[in-house]
């Protein structure tokens, strides 16, 4: 029996590559940059499986050029880079990697929150620039931040990552409130409506999936309703936020700061206006970037792929109704 051909768009650990090659023929993308859309179409033409990341866009045009494709597995939680309607219409199950990156992303959320609240990047720049050495002595007004205890943290989205953030925030004495489109009671979180959360939170943190109805959920109107001096943290997806409106809210002083791990689009442009704002902490989409988490993501993505190729239920499938029909 001929082994199915799989295209992998990112490097694989040696052990995982060996595991895949025991049951599949692997076509590996080994260039430093991710494949362009034409390169992706060419590489996938005769493949039964695609092992990808959020760099690759899977749309109707790609599917039309990939008649043999029957399984997709992405090394990400979000599937907004995949046209789920088109792949589901083709009967292609899509594996993804939730749960394994919950703790790493929650940790980064708290790191960005702390960095903004205590102005750590500003302090770092102050010391490195030599300004501190030119102003000797202890100054009680220098780089004053904000207390976290009894501050209100508002969570938009109460899935696994939102819940993990809530548990960590409780340890800092934050009062945690939350809103989610679905009805969900979460320990350590006071549920409220969206408008109340936006108006009440001292710190607003996003943990909701990107979908057509959540694109630019945080727009100019929402930003205007936030408390003066509030902080915005986003470790979810860049397009949840209207970036020009955010820049305006930060530059005007209405918002006190922002901690962003995601942008729209990615990577962020080299001359992005956010780069000129001192009250913004930026990271290059590293929510899951720990050695252990990335290894678990790759293993889960590979497992989903192999199970799908064998016609078995994936460990995590983003369109399980397609699996049910197979």
Residues 237, 78 contacting (CB under 8 angstroms): yes
Residues serving a catalytic function are 237, 266, 285
pLDDT at res. 154:
98
Q: What is the pLDDT of residue 189?
A: 96
Q: What is the pLDDT of residue 309?
A: 97
What span, in angstroms and rounded, lies between the C-alpha atoms of 211 and 82?
11
Q: How far apart are CA 190 and CA 184, in angstroms?
A: 11
Domain ranges of the chain: 5-100+291-321, 102-282
d(CA 22, CA 13): 14
Q: Is residue 42 a contact partner of residue 11, using CB atoms and an 8 Å limit?
A: no
Do domains 5-100+291-321 and 102-282 share one topology? The answer is: yes
**What is the DSSP-derived secondary structure letter of residue 82?**
B
Token pair 């219409």 is found at 89
Please tell me the class of the 102-282 domain: alpha beta
Torsion of CA 148, 152, 155, 159, to 10 degrees: 70
Q: For the chain (length 326 residues), average pLDDT per consecutive 10?
A: 94 93 95 96 97 97 97 96 97 97 98 98 95 88 95 97 97 96 84 97 97 96 98 98 98 98 94 95 98 97 97 96 83
41-66 pLDDT, tens per residue?
999 999 999 999 999 999 999 999 99
CA angle 62/68/70 to nearest 5° reads 85
How much is the pLDDT for 188? Answer: 86
pTM for this structure? Answer: 0.94
3.40.1390.30, 3.40.50.720, 3.30.1600.10, 3.20.20.140: CATH of 5-100+291-321:
3.40.50.720
**In 3-state terms, what secondary structure has residue 34?**
coil
Is the Cβ–Cβ distance between 26 and 49 less than 8 Å? no
Q: How far is residue 242 from each of residues 136, 218, 234, 238, 323, measured CA to CA in Å?
A: 42, 6, 12, 8, 35
């Amino acid at each position: 029996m001929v082994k199915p051909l799989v295209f992998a768009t990112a490097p694989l650990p040696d052990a995982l590559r060996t595991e895949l090659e025991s049951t599949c023929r692997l076509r590996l993308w080994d260039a430093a940059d991710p494949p362009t859309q034409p390169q992706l179409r060419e590489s996938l033409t005769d493949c039964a499986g695609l092992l990808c990341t959020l760099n690759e866009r899977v749309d109707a045009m790609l599917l039309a050029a990939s008649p043999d494709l029957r399984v997709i597995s992405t090394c990400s939680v979000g599937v907004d880079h995949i046209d789920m309607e088109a792949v589901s219409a083709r009967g292609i199950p899509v594996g993804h990697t939730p749960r394994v990156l919950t703790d790493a992303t929650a940790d980064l959320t708290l790191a960005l929150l702390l960095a903004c609240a205590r102005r750590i990047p500003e302090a770092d720049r102050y010391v490195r620039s030599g300004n501190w050495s030119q102003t000797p002595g202890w100054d009680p007004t220098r780089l004053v931040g904000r207390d976290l205890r009894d501050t209100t943290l508002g969570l938009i989205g109460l899935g696994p990552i939102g819940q993990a953030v809530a548990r960590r925030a409780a340890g800092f004495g934050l009062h945690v409130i939350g809103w989610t489109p679905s009805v969900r009671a979460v320990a350590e979180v006071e549920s409220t409506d969206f408008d109340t959360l936006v108006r009440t939170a001292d710190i607003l943190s996003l943990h909701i999936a990107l979908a057509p109805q959540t694109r630019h959920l945080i727009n100019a109107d929402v930003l205007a309703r936030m408390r003066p001096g509030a902080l915005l943290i986003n470790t979810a997806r860049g397009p949840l936020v209207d970036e020009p409106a955010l820049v305006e809210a930060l530059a005007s002083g209405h918002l006190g700061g922002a901690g962003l791990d995601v942008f729209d689009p990615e990577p962020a442009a080299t001359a992005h206006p956010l780069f000129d704002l001192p009250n913004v902490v930026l990271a290059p989409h590293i929510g899951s970037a720990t050695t252990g988490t990335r290894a678990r993501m790759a293993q889960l993505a590979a497992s989903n792929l192999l199970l799908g190729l064998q016609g078995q239920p994936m460990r995590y499938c983003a369109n399980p109704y397609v699996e049910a029909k197979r």
